[in-house]
Amino acid sequence: MKSKGIIGKEVVGSGGWTIGEVRDIVFDETNWRIGSLEVKLDRSVAEEYQMKKLLTRATLTIDVASVRAVGDHIMLSVTKPELGHMVSFRKP
């Protein structure tokens, strides 16, 4: 699959809830592999985790180790509490 086939795909967490969509791919030059996905958070997710920004959409970088499957959607093995931990770890 080419990178343009991944960008824009909906990202779904464990349990089927929508997290957002892939905005970009972060390449790990050391290993020559995709290291993470930059995910533009769904508005409701951004609001739930108090990440809503005034003029731009909130994003979160998710390690590809959390990807369970890629098809019509990108399915993560991440639960809501785990995503909350990722968000709280990211905040300054």
DSSP classification of residue 16 = S
Q: What is the pLDDT of residue 31?
A: 86
Residue 6 C-alpha from the chain's centroid: 12
- Give the integer Cα–Cα distance in Å for 24 and 49: 21
Q: For the segment 2-12, what is each residue's pLDDT rounded down to a tens digit?
A: 777 899 999 99
25-33: average pLDDT: 89
CA distances, 85 to each of 9, 24, 33, 78 (Å) = 23, 22, 25, 10
Q: What is the pLDDT of residue 35?
A: 92
On average, the pLDDT of the chain sits at 86
The string of pLDDT tens digits covering residues 30-44 is 988 889 999 999 988
Nearest to 1 by CA among 50, 74, 63: 74
pTM for the predicted model, two decimal places? 0.83
